[in-house]
Structure 1
Amino acid sequence: MVFVRPLLQRRLFSFGATQTHRNPHQQWSIKQVIKSNFADTLEDIKSHISNSEFVAVSLQKTGFFSAPWHRVSPFDTADTAYLKAKHAAERFQVLHFAVCPFTVRASKVTAYPYNFHLFPRDELKMEMPSCSFYCQTSSLRSMARQGFDFNSWINDGISYLSREQESAVKNQMLNPTLAKNVTKSTSTPSVADSVFIGRIKSRVKNWKKTYKCTSPSKDEALVRSLRKLVLGTEEYDSRPWMNIDVCSEHQAQVVVELLQEFADVVPLIVPAKGGVTQAVRVVLTSSEEDKDLLLRKLQNDEQELTKKVRGFREVIDLISASQKPVVVYGSLNDLTFIHSKFIAGLPPTVDEFMCSLRLAFPMVIDVNHLMKEIGPLRKVTNIPVAISYLKNQFFTPIDMVIPRQAMENEDTIHGQNVVKICELFAKLCSVLKIDPASVQSDEAKRASALEAYANIFSPFSTASEEPIDGDIKIWTNNTRTVSCEDLVFLWGFRDRVTAGVLKSLLQESHEAFFEEFDVRLVDNSCAIVVFWQRGLSKTFLNTMNNCSDMRGPLREMVSEGLRAAGYETYSRACRLGIWEATLADSLDKTLADSDSASESDSKTESSDSSWCTEWTINLDDL
C-alpha cells in the first residue's frame, strides 16, 4: 500500500506556461497504420518498445451495451464484473488499437504513438461488404459523420488473426512448404518403419533412375507423357516431382529423414485441409546450383505467405515479449478484449483470467486507480477532465515530446486517447510523488510504490483500500461497503416509479425497513435495496417467500407482481449468460430455470427412492 501525503494544491499562474499548455484543440502526431504500411511499421515499433519504459494502449470497439445493467456496476463483485466484461469482449470487435511506447524522465515524456486500423476477422470481408452493421452504434455513427470511410477501412484494415485463424488460413492455401528442423532420429526404427523405409527408398531410387534414363527420339514428348502417367510424375517449376502419401505425422517425419540421403532432391510438406500432413512431395533437382535456387525460391514464397497472414497479434506478441509495464485506462474491459482477440479465448472465471493475462503482461497499471488516490478525481470518468483538473489544482508541468512529425494530409483523429493516457499517467505520478523510473530499477522499496497500483482489475477498487471478502461498494461516490448478503433485488413494481417513491412505499411496510436502508434503480425494471444492518435482508426475503407478515403498501405491491431475490440470483444470471434486455426479465428467467432444475432433481430423487424400495432384497426374508 502506498501512503500519500496531504497534497499541497496550487493553481498555475499564467507566467508558468510551458509546452504542456498547448492549445486544447491541437492534435498530436499519431502514425496511422494500415495494411500497406504494417510490415514496415513492425520494425519501428519493435525498436521503440525495446527502448521505452512503458507501453500505453487504448482501444476503440464496435457495439454498445444493449442494456444498462450489462455495464459493470459498483455493486458487482470481481466475478460478476468479469462476466460482464467477458460478455462484451466476445460480442464486439476492435476497430482501432492505439499503442504508445513511452519514457518518463522527470517532467519530460517521450512518446511514439501508433494507431492500428483493424479489420475484425478476415472471413467477415466476404460476409459483410457494407458498413451498415458497423454504423449501428453511436460512436461509429459519429465516425461516419466525421467523414470516416468504412469501405476503405474494410479493405485497408489489418487482420487480427489469432493463432488458430492463422493456421486455418495457411491450411486453406494448401501450398507445399519446405520441410524444416528435421534431425536424424537416433532411436532404432520399428519393424513397420523398417519395411516402410525400404519400400520408399526403393521407390525413390527407381523413380530417379527411370526419369534420368531418357533416350532421344522424335516421339520423346509422347514417351515423357507416358512416363509421367505411369510414374505419377509432375513438374514443379520445370523440375520433376512425385508425391509420397503418408498416413500420419510420424510417417511424414520418417520420409523426410530418408530423403536427406539423396543430395539431389528437396522434400516439401503437402498439407491437408484439416492441418495434418497429406503427403511428402519429392522434387528432383539437376545440380547443386539448381537445388540452391529452388531452396531460395521456397523461402521467398514462405515469406510472402507469412506476409499474407500477418495480423495485429504480432504487435501484441512484441509487447508481451518485452515484459514492459502496460498502462491503460479502464483495465478490465480493455484487457478482456485484448485477451479474447489476440491471446486466447476467455476462461470462465476471473482468477483464471488473471493468471492467463499475467503470463502475457506481468504488470498492468490502470491510471484509473491512481486517480482515485486524489479525492475529487474519484468521481471523474473522463481523461481530459482529469488532466484539466490536475493542471488547475497542482503544479505538474509535463512536456510531451513526440519525435515523429505528421505526414501531409495524414489523419490524426484516431489514437489521440493513448497519448492522453501517457500524459495523465505522468501527471499522476508527479502529484503522488511516484518515480516511474523506479519500476526499471533494482530498488524494491522505490519500485513498490508504483507496483502497488498494478494488476488491479476491479474497476471500482483502489490500491489504498484493503479488500474485505464478500464486501462491495454500492455507489461509486460512497466509501461505505456492504456484504453481498445484505442486498436484495426488487422488480415487478409499477412503471416509472422513482427510487425515492419506492423507498417511501417500503418504509413502515415491514419490520426490516424500520432500520436504515437505501434504494437505487439498476434499470427501469429493477431496484436494489441495501440493508445496512446485518440479517435484515434474510428476514425480508423469508417474508416475501412465505407471503406472511405483510401489511400496507408491501402487501398491495406483492399482489400486483412484486418479486424479490438475493444477490446469488443476480450472480447466477451472469454465470448462466442470461443477458436479457431488462434485469427483471433475466432474474425471472433465472428463477424459472432454478425452479425447473429443483423440480427435476426432486423427480430424480423420488424415482431413485422408488426403485430402491421396490428392488431392495431383505436378507432376513430369505
Structure 2
Amino acid sequence: MYKQKNVVLNHWLPPFPMVRRGRFLCSETSKFFNQKQTPTHRPIKQVTKSNFSDSLSQLKTQISGSDFVAVSLQKTGSYSSPWHRILPFDTAEIAYLKAKYAAERFQILQFAVCPFSIRADANHYKLIAHPFNFHLFPRDELKLGMPCYSFSCQPSYIASMAKEDFDFNVCIYDGISYLSRAQETAAKHLTGNPVSSNYAVQPSTTRSVADNVFVERIKSRVRNWISACKRSDMRSEDALVSSLRRLILGGEEYGSRPSLNIDVCSERQVQLVFEMVKSHYSNVVPLAITSKGGGTQFVRVVLTSSQEDRELLKKELRNMEEEQSRRLCGFREVIDFISASQKPIVAHNLLNVFHADFTFIHSKFLYPLPPTMDEFTSSLHSAFPDILDVNHLMKEISPLTKYSSLPAATSYLKRNFFAPIKMVIPQKGSMEESKNHGHGVVRISELFAKLCFILRILPQAEYHNPDGPSLKRYTNVFSPDSNNFQDSDEADDISIWTNNPMKISINNLVFLWGFRSGTSAGKLKNLLSKSHNLLSEDHAFDVRLVDNSCAVIVFWKDGLSEWFLDAIDSGDGLRELAAEGMMAAGYDTYKRICESEILGVDLADSLAEFDRISEAHTKEPQEVYWNSDLMINFDDL
C-alpha cells in the first residue's frame, strides 16, 4: 500500500483511511475526493506603511486568539558565490558562520505572518488562518544611519521575485521600515527624548554639604516659581509683564501647563531634584530631558492644576513615549508581539542551517549575530522559546528524503496520504490581494495541519497532548540529523555528499587549488592518481569540485591527508603538481577563513589570501641594531 515500506508507523497510523494512487479504501473517503474541488480564494492581507497601524491592531488580536504563528520570508539573496552556500562537508559551526555572513549582507523585503488554530472535527481537521504579508524596506527615516546604508542582492532571487510580479515600487516607496532592539537603544541616545517621571530613583544615600546646598537652592527656586504662577493666575497681566516674569523666573510653557527648566551637572543632581520634587510638591511632575549624546541635559518640572490633571499629564507622556518607540522600531513591533505572546512558531526549513532564515530575523530585528552558534541558539531561544519546523515532521513519515520546497512536500503528502483539511480564512479580501505574495505562509499552516492529522497529533491551545504524540519532540530541532548541534558527540564528523548518511572526519579532507580552469573532478582525480604510488591505489581518495577554482579531496585512509599536505608543500614526492602551481590546505584553514569572514568570490582566492596573511604574521621580526653611543643619558642634560 505504501511506497515507504521500510517506515514503521505502528502507533503513528493515521486515524482515518489512507489513499494510494486514487484507490479509495472506503465510501467516506471516496465521497470526500469525488466532491468538486474548486480553487480556494485565499485573501492575504497586504500590509504597507500606509495601513500598518490598523493592520497591527488586527494582527495582535488574531495572535492572541490563535494557537500557533506561521512565518515566511522573502529575501534579496542567500549567498554571493557558489562556495558561500552551506555545503555538505560544512560543520554546524561553519554552516552558522556562512548563514551569519549572508544575513548581515542581504535584506528581507517581505515578512509573512499567519496566526492559526487547528480544531479536530468529526472526520477532518479544521484550520482557521489569518494571513498577513508585510512589505518591508530598511529606510533611514530618522536620518541616524540606521538600519543600514546598503545591502546586497542576488540576481537569481530578484529575477524570481520579478517573475512572481513582485512590486518593487511598493516595497521601496511604501515599505515599512524598522530598527532592531539594539539599534533602537542606540537611537534613543541619539534623538534625546524626555523620560517623563519614570526616571529610576535610587535609594536615598547620605547627602553631602554640597548636596544639601543644591537641594535647598532648587527647592527655593521651585517654590518661588509656583507662587508666581499662582499669582499670575489670580490677576490678569498684559503680555509684556507676563513675558518679563517668565524671563526672570526662567519659566516656560509645556503645552498649556507652566514649566521650569533646572540645569544639572551630574546624574547625582538629577537624583536630588527628583527626590526633592516628589517629596515636597505633589502637583509638580519632573521630567528628565536627555541630550543627543546620552545622559541628562536638564530636568523640566511641570506644574499641574489638580490630581486629575497630573494623571492626565502622565498619560500624555506615556502615549508620547509609546508613539516615539513605535516610530523607532517600525515593523519590529510585530516581532516583539510574537515574542511576547510565547506562541509556538511554525516555519519551513527555518531552523535547518541549510536554510537558516532565523539568522536574518535575529540580525534585522533583535541584535547583531553572535560569533558562535551556541550563543545564537541561546539568544534565539530567549526570544522564541518554541519553534517548529514542518520539515522535521516530514522526516517522521519520509525519513530518507529531504523536501527543500513546500510544493515538493505538499505534493508528496497528496500522492501518499489521505489528510482532509478544511481551511477557513475569516478575513475578507479582494481578488487582487489573493494574487499577491504571502501565500507561502498559508501553505506552511496547511502542511503543518496535514502532518498533525497523519501523525495523529491533536494540536490544542496548550500546545501538546499529554495522552498521545506530542509536538514537543519536534520543537527547536536545529538539524535534520540530530536533536541539536551542540548535543552531537561527533562534531568533527561531516558528510561529503548530499542525501548520503556516510560520515568522515574533517581531518581527512584537503582543499586543492591552482589547477587549470575547466578541469573536471574526474580529470583531476586521474591526474592525482598518476602523481604518486600512494594515490594510485583503488579507493584511496575521491575528488569533488567546490567551485570552478577549488576542489575538495576526501582521503579514505587516516594519515594520508597529512602526508599529502606535507608533500605538496615541500614538493617532495609531488613535484609535478607543485610545479604546475597547485596548492593545498587542510580543513582548519577553511574553518579559519569562515571565522574571519574572508569570503571572496572564489574559494581559491580566499585560501591564497589567507595563506599570504598567515605567512606575513609568522615571519620573524627584523633585527634591530642597537648603538649605545646614540643613547641619550638624561643625567648629562
Is residue 114 of structure 2 the alignment partner of residue 104 of structure 1? no
**CA 1:406–1:506 in 2, change beyond 3 Å: closer, same or farther?**
same
Q: For residues 526 and 399 of structure 1, what CA distance do their matches in structure 2 show?
A: 51
* CA drift at 1:387: 0.8
2:49 matched to which residue of 1? 35
2:297 matched to which residue of 1? 278
Q: For residues 235 and 469 of structure 2, what CA distance do their matches in structure 1 show?
A: 87
* CA drift at 1:572: 0.7
Query: Could you say what secondary structure the match of 1:378 adopts?
Result: coil
1:618 matched to which residue of 2? none
* CA drift at 1:587: 0.8
2:286 matched to which residue of 1? 267
Q: For residues 334 and 553 of structure 2, what CA distance do their matches in structure 1 show?
A: 46
Q: For residues 257 and 218 of structure 1, what CA distance do their matches in structure 2 show?
A: 34
1:419 matched to which residue of 2? 442
2:475 matched to which residue of 1? 454
Say if 2:41 and 2:434, in contact at 8 Å, map to a contact too: no
TM-score, normalization: structure 2?
0.83
Q: What are the residue-to-residue correspondences of 1:176-575 with 2, within 5 Å?
A: 176-180=194-198, 185=203, 187-213=205-231, 220-260=238-278, 261-286=280-305, 291=310, 294-295=313-314, 297-330=316-349, 331=351, 332=353, 333-375=356-398, 378-407=401-430, 409-410=432-433, 412-432=435-455, 434-437=457-460, 440-441=463-464, 443=466, 446-447=469-470, 450-458=471-479, 461=481, 468-510=490-532, 511-516=534-539, 517-550=541-574, 555-575=575-595
Say if 1:12 and 1:395, in contact at 8 Å, map to a contact too: no
Which residue identity does 2:447 align to in structure 1? L
* CA drift at 1:296: 5.0
Q: For residues 505 and 49 of structure 2, what CA distance do their matches in structure 1 show?
A: 51
Q: For residues 276 and 21 of structure 1, what CA distance do their matches in structure 2 show?
A: 68
Q: What are the residue-to-residue correspondences of 1:48-67 with 2, within 5 Å?
A: 48-67=62-81
Q: Which stretch shifts more, 10-19 or 27-36? A: 10-19
Q: Which stretch shifts more, 253-262 or 85-94? A: 253-262
Q: What are the residue-to-residue correspondences of 1:573-592 with 2, within 5 Å?
A: 573-592=593-612
Q: Which stretch shifts more, 292-301 or 422-431? A: 292-301
Q: Which stretch shifts more, 147-156 or 85-94? A: 147-156
Q: Percent identity?
A: 53
Unaligned segments of structure 1, at least 5 residues = 611-622
Q: For residues 272 and 527 of structure 2, what CA distance do their matches in structure 1 show?
A: 81
* CA drift at 1:175: 4.7
Query: Could you say what secondary structure the match of 1:395 adopts?
Result: coil
Q: Which stretch shifts more, 465-474 or 502-511? A: 465-474
Say if 2:531 and 2:576, in contact at 8 Å, map to a contact too: no
* CA drift at 1:354: 1.1
Which residue identity does 1:317 align to in structure 2? D
Q: For residues 389 and 292 of structure 2, what CA distance do their matches in structure 1 show?
A: 43
Query: Could you say what secondary structure the match of 1:339 adopts?
Result: helix
Q: For residues 518 and 9 of structure 1, what CA distance do their matches in structure 2 show?
A: 44
Q: For residues 444 and 188 of structure 1, what CA distance do their matches in structure 2 show?
A: 61
Say if 1:377 and 1:386, in contact at 8 Å, map to a contact too: no
Is residue 21 of structure 2 the alignment partner of residue 11 of structure 1? yes
2:634 matched to which residue of 1? none
Q: Which stretch shifts more, 54-63 or 488-497? A: 54-63
Q: Which stretch shifts more, 184-193 or 28-37? A: 184-193
Say if 2:457 and 2:465, in contact at 8 Å, map to a contact too: no
Q: For residues 36 and 551 of structure 2, what CA distance do their matches in structure 1 show?
A: 45
Say if 2:107 and 2:151, in contact at 8 Å, map to a contact too: no
Say if 1:18 and 1:397, in contact at 8 Å, map to a contact too: no
**CA 1:125–1:270 in 2, change beyond 3 Å: closer, same or farther?**
closer
Say if 1:62 and 1:92, in contact at 8 Å, map to a contact too: yes
1:620 matched to which residue of 2? none
**CA 1:306–1:361 in 2, change beyond 3 Å: closer, same or farther?**
closer
1:153 matched to which residue of 2? 171
Say if 1:512 and 1:539, in contact at 8 Å, map to a contact too: no
Query: Could you say what secondary structure the match of 2:562 adopts?
Result: helix
Query: Could you say what secondary structure the match of 1:523 adopts?
Result: coil
* CA drift at 1:147: 4.9
* CA drift at 1:521: 0.8
RMSD: 3.7
Q: For residues 59 and 539 of structure 1, what CA distance do their matches in structure 2 show?
A: 46
Q: For residues 463 and 275 of structure 1, what CA distance do their matches in structure 2 show?
A: 45
Q: How far does the alpha carbon of each residue in 1:565-591 deviate from its partner, in whole angstroms, 9 at most, with x for none? A: 111111010001101000001111111
Which residue identity does 1:397 align to in structure 2? P
**CA 1:375–1:479 in 2, change beyond 3 Å: closer, same or farther?**
farther
Query: Could you say what secondary structure the match of 2:253 adopts?
Result: strand
Q: For residues 245 and 464 of structure 1, what CA distance do their matches in structure 2 show?
A: 56
Say if 2:509 and 2:554, in contact at 8 Å, map to a contact too: yes
Q: For residues 21 and 358 of structure 1, what CA distance do their matches in structure 2 show?
A: 45
**CA 1:364–1:220 in 2, change beyond 3 Å: closer, same or farther?**
closer
Query: Could you say what secondary structure the match of 2:135 adopts?
Result: strand
Query: Could you say what secondary structure the match of 1:561 adopts?
Result: coil
Query: Could you say what secondary structure the match of 2:370 adopts?
Result: coil
**CA 1:216–1:390 in 2, change beyond 3 Å: closer, same or farther?**
closer
Which residue identity does 1:236 align to in structure 2? Y
Q: How many residues align?
A: 595
Q: Which stretch shifts more, 587-596 or 208-217? A: 208-217
Q: For residues 525 and 93 of structure 1, what CA distance do their matches in structure 2 show?
A: 28
TM-score, normalization: structure 1?
0.85
* CA drift at 1:427: 3.1
**CA 1:12–1:423 in 2, change beyond 3 Å: closer, same or farther?**
farther
Unaligned segments of structure 2, at least 5 residues = 1-6, 25-29, 627-637
* CA drift at 1:326: 1.8
Which residue identity does 2:475 align to in structure 1? A
Query: Could you say what secondary structure the match of 2:86 adopts?
Result: coil
* CA drift at 1:227: 3.0
Query: Could you say what secondary structure the match of 1:91 adopts?
Result: coil
**CA 1:169–1:389 in 2, change beyond 3 Å: closer, same or farther?**
same
Say if 1:489 and 1:528, in contact at 8 Å, map to a contact too: yes
1:115 matched to which residue of 2? 133
Which residue identity does 1:416 align to in structure 2? H
Which residue identity does 1:575 align to in structure 2? E
Q: For residues 268 and 559 of structure 2, what CA distance do their matches in structure 1 show?
A: 65
Q: Which stretch shifts more, 94-103 or 203-212? A: 203-212
* CA drift at 1:479: 1.7
Q: For residues 216 and 319 of structure 1, what CA distance do their matches in structure 2 show?
A: 53
